[in-house]
Structure 1
């Protein structure tokens, strides 16, 4: 089997896989509106715009609706909304066409957010704007509500410097004569269908990633749950002592991490107006008369930075979803990060990674070309076999196999490097579209985002030229069938078109890999094997 054929088999398998994956990631959802469960877990409170407070640290800015104390907006100050935008990336949002909120409250018999009250408590705050000051270790923002029986409910938001996790605490002071029973809930809800302004990758099959719900429990370290499951009322009901719930999208996540008070219940639900929700409820806590109780939870609102997420909750770093090749993508990213810390440029780091991978696979590549050279030297004898047994195809196959055995040639040896390189190539692809560190990472000149496609398609064209050169300098010209030869000549054009949409960092990797292949091909194809 010739080098260029193996090369194009690899490319074909890769692109076919991406097309299949993009199809898998699409949501084929109906526009059917489902009934709201209740006011706590349901649609937006009509009074949400009446009273709000603003909380900010170095990296996040939050807008809190005082009706219920839900987080309705969250800006990530260290990340741009788009490449050339001056506005921060808005993760949580509440508008007329899109809802993405992190809710929390107290439900149960005496919970102020219980559905029996048919409304949310209106909290009070001493200030409207809270900002973490320099050299301040933490920012505590208390909001308070007192019910008709004199029970004081205090909800506290705690932010720390340069941290994306927010501590949420409920302090309940029972000044009544009766014991109180309640549960805490945390919920993330989001409109299933993205508006145009947020659906920036809808036309690019190569940049499609998972968007939907996810959770972790005692039985599952990390499990994704598609929006179409929720939309079709195939809802979760999982009981676990540990775990978390999350909403995921490319590069960013929102996750509730409840404090373990026993067995929490994880659920999903389909709300009205095409909104999906995932949440948890804690076990019931009892607060005796004239006593106090506290319930805590953490909320992650930010980029999927693995080293920070794994400190917040066990398995939360798995939301950086590298797919089924995570065991290759994770060490590959760590190596890439080490090179970046030394060099300071992700593009140059990708180039060095390419040389590193080519170095690792060099023994296999050498064996591949040796096998090809030996098989080429046998072509005259194979031709004789075919002429001798023209009408007996079974005998031809058997004689050729015997010839390979006699010469100690494995015809499948030329395929092995292809199957080794494909997982490496795919793992790099997963890493580029899944690692937030590479979002808006510049290389040089016009390449300002290695995770996005080349805006001028220069790199894909260069890649196509290298593919064409590999084909022309290999033995494709020996193909006798004119139709087959035309197909082989047309393949670089086809894959150049496909690569127009791929992340420029991946195309860069492929170009460097092709250049190394050209050098190796020139060297090895001039090698004369020992007879």
Structure 2
């Protein structure tokens, strides 16, 4: 980034990258699922129902039951509250659905006392986690959900584990206990069904777990800071597959897999159903008439003989995109922290940031230390770059002579220049290598700062209270532009082409404007990188000039 063409190339690549990134979000490929053969039950205008795929002759007419009407948000007062160190949940006893989930460690906005609410159910927005038992002897259907009983209206975690049992019994003799199990320090919730058949006939049913959300409620950010809002899943053949709502409208998901999970993603947060990984489960999707997106998992059919019991287990994750926490819940769930195609570079950078932050206790200082480490590692290449530029300057008289000799004969001119480079042992591309190496690092750090929830609302110093968002006073972008301008003054004389000269002169202004909307943590990285580069330039130039090599032409 220390020559006119290099800076122009960086600007072009950066702009192209953000245009490409926005295009991939707008046109993200969906699932390659085969044509769906599922049936949909009749829906009314005030219902938000979602059908599940056919799972055999005994469940062909089964359907995932409807959620409550948006107008019935209080469910006649039949809500219980569950509070742990991390979560505040509200569970509707009509069906046992989680209809509200607040993350107690995360503020809704910077410095707000209000906690961030991931799951919710109100007149404008439905985002709930449903589960139940459907089938011939299932306790949930579109004609009515299971009506559970609880011993308390409010549960609070006192020890290391909290269990919230809900009970119901059918006329046919099925005794069902739906238990939510939450551990201290965890965002994963065990959702377990204990079914005891006290009747005289065998009972057959299937477990389902699904996430239902209003599609119009999400945001995808801007071109500078695009974020994904939609569904995603993991299966045997694909570790991580985005499933945008637009694709959900066009083709229903129908995947049979032994491993994996289904989820709804948004910036920094995720809700996911993780089924038992020892059987062939079905992943399905549905878009309801009331514009609700549904993605879920359906277990194989279970039969409980009279006088016997059966336990069905599943896990619901509701929380931040904490890579360490998600990796313990399910394989590849941590890939919901989407670092793009440079994930293999972004993940080590994040681990390094995380390691440094554990010592300095400040993400801004950690970014500065990462910048110093990166510049130190690249210093040999940086030095080779300036030496190459110095040699190119020494060749200018000879190159001018070649231009006068060959005139407009570009072919002979090119051959003569390549011969000259070979004789003088000069690589004309030597100045581009450090820039090409820094660009993937820059893009990886951009994704790290954009996607890592650890940097959400993380302060640096003074006015920088959130490194994941833009500088509110634009001080860092202005300082970054000033550092670029100073770097220009130190660099060799720009190219003789008038157009390149003008673009080179305006580049600090262009970059400053462009960086106004960048996360302040990324601008901090670029500013510190420029300051270190300036120091390196002064050291290298002074060393070369002591050897009699006039680098800067001054």
* Contact 2:64/2:208, CA 8 A, preserved across alignment: no
Q: How many residue pairs are counted as aligned between the two chains?
A: 516
Write the distance in 2 (CA, Å) between the matches of 1:442 and 1:474. 34
Aligned partner of 1:503 in structure 2 is 519
**Which consecutive unaligned segments of at least 5 residues does structure 1 have?**
none
Offset of residue 43 of structure 1: 4.8
CA contact (8 A) 1:47 1:67 kept: no
2:551 is equivalent to residue 524 of structure 1: no
Cα distance between partner residues in 2 of 1:61 and 1:519 = 51
Q: Is the 8 A contact 2:65 2:141 kept in 1?
A: no
Counterpart of 1:131 (choices 141, 144, 156) is 156
Cα distance in structure 2, aligned partners of 1:356 and 1:206 = 26
2:68 is equivalent to residue 44 of structure 1 = yes
**Displacement of 1:218 after TM fit?**
1.5
Identify the match of residue 293 of structure 1 among 307, 310, 324: 310
Change (3 A) 1:469 1:331: same
- Using the alignment, how far apart are the partners of 1:137 and 1:388 within structure 2? 84
- Identify if the C-alpha distance between structure 1 residues 205 and 84 changes in structure 2 by more than 3 Å, giving closer, same or farther: farther
Q: Is the 8 A contact 1:42 1:272 kept in 2?
A: no
The CA distance in 1 between the partners of 2:462 and 2:537, in whole Å, is 30
Find the counterpart in structure 1 of residue 495 from structure 2.
479
Partner residue, 1:16: 16
Tell me the distance in 2 between the aligned counterparts of 1:146 and 1:35.
25
* 1:207 equivalent in structure 2: 225
Partners of 1:151 and 1:470 lie apart in 2 by 77
Instruction: Kindly indicate whether residue 453 of structure 2 is the aligned counterpart of residue 436 of structure 1.
Output: yes
Contact 1:181-1:285 at 8 Å conserved across structures: yes
1:85 maps onto 2:112 in alignment:
yes
Q: Report how far residue 37 of structure 1 moved.
A: 3.8
Q: Distance in 1 between matches of 2:255 and 2:410?
A: 60
Residues 4 and 500 in structure 2, CA contact (< 8 A), matched pair in contact too: no
More displaced, 210-219 or 337-346?
210-219
In 2, the alpha carbon distance for the partners of 1:42 and 1:148 equals 22
Deviation of the 1:268 alpha carbon:
1.7
Q: Is the 8 A contact 2:65 2:140 kept in 1?
A: no
* 1:262 paired to 2:279: yes
Q: Is the deviation greater in 211-220 or in 62-71?
A: 211-220
| Match of residue 395 from structure 2 | 378
Q: Does the CA contact (< 8 Å) of 1:320 and 1:435 recur in 2?
A: yes
Residues 304 and 436 (structure 1), Cα distance of their counterparts in 2 relative to 1, 3 Å cut: same
Which segment is superposed worse, 72-81 or 221-230?
Answer: 221-230
Q: 252-261 or 354-363, which moves further after superposition?
A: 252-261
State the TM-score, normalizing by the size of structure 1: 0.93
Contact 2:268–2:320 (Cα < 8 Å) also in 1: yes
Shift of residue 48, structure 1, vs aligned partner = 5.0
SS class of match (2:429): helix
- Which range moves more in the overlay, 74-83 or 403-412? 403-412
Taking the aligned partners of 1:183 and 1:131, their CA distance within structure 2 comes to 31
* Correspondence for 2:249: 231
Distance 1:105 1:213 in 2: 21
CA offsets 1:60-83 (integer angstroms, 9 cap, x no match): 010111111111110000000011
Match status 1:73 vs 2:104 = no
- Report the alpha carbon displacement of residue 36 of structure 1 after superposing the two structures with TM: 4.8
Instruction: Output the CA distance in 1 between the equivalents of 2:499 and 2:260.
Output: 58
Residue 183 of structure 1 aligns with which residue?
206
Q: Is the 8 A contact 1:48 1:65 kept in 2?
A: no
Q: Is the 8 A contact 1:192 1:276 kept in 2?
A: yes
* Whole-angstrom CA distance in 1 between matches of 2:278 and 2:202: 19
8 Å CA contact retained: 2:50, 2:294: no
Partner residue in 1 for 2:35: none
Q: Closer, same or farther in 2 for the Cα pair 1:239/1:530, shift >3 Å?
A: farther
Is this contact kept in 2: 1:80–1:88, CA < 8 A? yes
C-alpha separation between the residues in 1 aligned to 2:296 and 2:217? Answer: 21
Residues 145-199 of structure 1, C-alpha deviation per residue, up to 9 Å, x if partnerless?
A: 211223212111111112111111111111111101111011011111226xxx4
Could you say which residue in structure 1 is the equivalent of 2:60?
none
Q: Does the alignment pair 1:5 with 2:5?
A: yes
Alignment of 1:57-456 (within 5 A): 57-115=84-142, 118-133=143-158, 136-194=159-217, 199=219, 202=221, 204-232=222-250, 234-456=251-473
Alignment of 1:23-34 (within 5 A): 23-26=23-26
SS in 2 for 1:447: coil
TM-aligned CA distance change 1:455 to 1:243, over 3 Å: same
Mapped contact 2:48–2:67 kept (Cα < 8 A) = no
Which sits farther off after the overlay, 237-246 or 44-53? 44-53
Could you tell me how far 1:519 is from its partner in structure 2?
1.7
**Is the 1:306–1:317 contact (alpha carbons within 8 Å) kept by the matching residues of 2?**
yes
Structure 2 stretches of 5 or more lacking a match? 29-44, 52-62, 550-554
- Answer with 312-321 or 13-22: which moved more: 13-22
Aligned mates of 1:329, 1:215 — CA distance in 2: 21
Q: Report the secondary structure of 2:262's partner residue.
A: strand
Residues 94, 2 of structure 1: alpha-carbon distance in 2 compared, 3 angstrom cutoff: closer
CA–CA separation in structure 1 for the residues paired with 2:522 and 2:501: 28
Q: CA deviation at 1:96?
A: 1.5
Task: Indicate conservation of the 8 Å contact 1:346/1:443, yes or no.
Answer: yes
What TM-score, normalized by structure 2, do the two folds share? Answer: 0.89
